[in-house]
């Protein structure tokens, strides 16, 4: 018990000592906890300066853990420009991989700026499952205790079983439904800085929008008021929901969007294509994985994956 209390106390001290002004520090802008190994984090730079990501790390606190070692963390790589993002994806790329090594979806691979944690036994930071707290910190994986927290996803020391949700009656932990397990979460554009308290209650609805599993068409850019986005910018941004997904053969898959859909093209693994308008009839689609190209009347395109079973 003493060890657990010490770990939480150290985390609390780390957060209290950090003073973050709005738009002055990196934060997590998108969280992807998809099917199989489809796991990604998008990190946003709200500042006016290039930032060296080698000064930062991601730490995973799994299943209610209150302490972390270097094996639970990974140093980030690359540079991130002002008002730009860094997309990190788990490094599962072997096309013949199976079981725990099943490869990341092709579209998600294409979104990556860097791949992380190919070997669980070396670092498990990118193996989150909807009930793990994720910390973005400034510091070294070899000295986690003296690092500075700049953002927290979830609550360190809490295992919400199936994930966190917006139900205050259960302390925002799972009660049959989850916002974070098998979902993509996008930070609201009104969020200007990270959450630096690792042990406060985590109500994802306050700062995040939750999308369906395997939604990653928004990866690669982030709308944030730090960048001076206007109401016009927000109206022009495209968001959509695709459901059900996976779908049973014969079901109608609905695509709802804040922008008018011009055309939907479904491409199978052999390159065969079928076009639809604003819903997808699966009656004549074989079981398998389809890549959807959703074209909007404003000229924008978004890609997603549809699974027919």
Statement: residue 233 has pLDDT above 60: no
Whether 249 shows a pLDDT value over 60: the answer reads yes
Q: What residues does CATH 2.60.40.1930 cover in the chain?
A: 239-309
Average pLDDT of 75-103?
96
Q: What is the mean pLDDT of the chain?
A: 87
Locate 264 and state its tokens: 């939907």
Q: Where in the chain is the domain with CATH 2.60.40.1260?
A: 2-237
Task: Calculate mean pLDDT across residues 220-237.
Answer: 64
Q: What is the pLDDT of residues 143-180, one digit of tens each?
A: 999 999 999 999 999 999 889 999 999 999 987 889 99
Residue 234, pLDDT > 60, answer: no
Task: Write phi, then psi, for 64 (nearest 5 degrees).
Answer: 90, 10
What CATH code would you report for 2-237?
2.60.40.1260
Q: Is the pLDDT of residue 20 over 70?
A: yes
Q: Give the range among 20-29, 53-62, 134-143, 255-264 with minimum mean pLDDT.
A: 255-264
Q: Report percent pLDDT > 90 for the chain.
A: 63
pLDDT of res. 239: 64
What pLDDT does residue 222 have? 94
The span from the CA of 180 to the CA of 165, in Å, is 7
Q: What are the Cα distances from residue 283, in Å, to 51, 255, 286, 289?
A: 50, 16, 8, 15
Instruction: Work out the percent of the chain whose per-residue pLDDT is above 70.
Output: 90
Our CA angle for 32, 38, 31, nearest 5°, is 10
Measured CA to CA, the distance from residue 114 to residue 95 in angstroms comes to 18
Distance CA(115)–CA(219), nearest Å, equals 14
| String of DSSP letters for the chain | -HHHHHHHHHHHHHHHH----TTSS-EEEEEEE-STT-EEEEEE--SSS-EEGGGEEEEEEGGG-S---GGGEEE--SEE-TT-EEEEEE----TT--GGGPPPPHHHHHH-SEEE-S-TTT--TT---SSSEEEEEES-TT-GGG-EEEEEES-TT---TT-B-S-GGGTTB-SS--SSTTEEEEE-TT--S----TTS---GGGTEEEE-TT--TTTT----GGGT--HHHHHHS--EEEESSSB-TTPEEEEEESS-EEEEEEE-TTS-EEEESSEEE-TTPPSEEEEEEEEETTS-EEEEEEEE-
Give the least confident one: 56-70, 217-231, 249-263. 217-231
Check if the beta carbon of residue 75 is closer than 8 Å to that of residue 141: yes
- CA 282 to chain centroid, in Å, comes to 28
Looking at CATH, the fold of the domain delimited by 239-309 is given as Immunoglobulin-like (2.60.40)
Q: Which of 59, 70, 111 is nearest to 88 (CA)?
A: 111
pLDDT digits (tens, 9 = 90+) for 91-130: 999 999 999 999 999 999 999 999 999 999 999 999 999 9
């Amino acid at each position: 018990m003493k060890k657990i209390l010490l770990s939480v106390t150290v985390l609390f001290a780390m957060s209290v000592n950090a003073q973050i002004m709005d738009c002055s520090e990196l934060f997590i802008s998108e969280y992807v906890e998809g099917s199989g190994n489809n796991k990604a984090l998008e990190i946003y730079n709200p500042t006016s300066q290039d930032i060296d990501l080698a000064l930062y790390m991601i730490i995973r606190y799994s299943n209610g853990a209150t302490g972390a070692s270097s094996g639970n963390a990974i140093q980030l790589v690359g540079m991130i420009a002002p008002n730009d993002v860094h997309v990190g994806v788990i490094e599962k790329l072997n096309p013949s991989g199976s079981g725990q090594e099943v490869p990341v979806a092709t579209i998600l691979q294409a979104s990556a700026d860097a791949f992380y944690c190919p070997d669980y036994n070396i670092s498990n930071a990118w193996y989150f499952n909807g009930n793990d707290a994720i910390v973005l910190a400034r510091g070294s994986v070899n000295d986690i205790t003296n690092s500075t927290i700049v953002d927290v996803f979830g609550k360190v020391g809490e295992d919400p079983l199936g994930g966190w949700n917006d139900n205050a009656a259960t302390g925002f932990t799972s009660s049959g439904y989850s916002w974070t397990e098998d979902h993509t979460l996008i930070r609201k554009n009104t969020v200007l800085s990270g959450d630096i308290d690792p042990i406060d209650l985590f109500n994802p609805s306050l700062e995040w929008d939750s999308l369906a599993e395997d939604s990653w068409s928004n990866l690669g850019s982030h709308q944030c008021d730090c960048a001076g986005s206007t109401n016009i910018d927000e109206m022009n941004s495209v968001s959509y929901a695709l459901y059900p997904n996976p779908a049973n053969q014969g079901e109608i898959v609905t695509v709802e969007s804040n922008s008018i859909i011009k055309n939907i093209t479904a491409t199978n693994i052999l390159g065969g294509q079928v076009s639809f308008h604003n819903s997808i009839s699966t009656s004549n689609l074989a079981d398998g994985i389809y890549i959807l190209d959703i074209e909007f009347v404003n000229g924008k395109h978004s890609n997603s994956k549809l699974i027919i079973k």
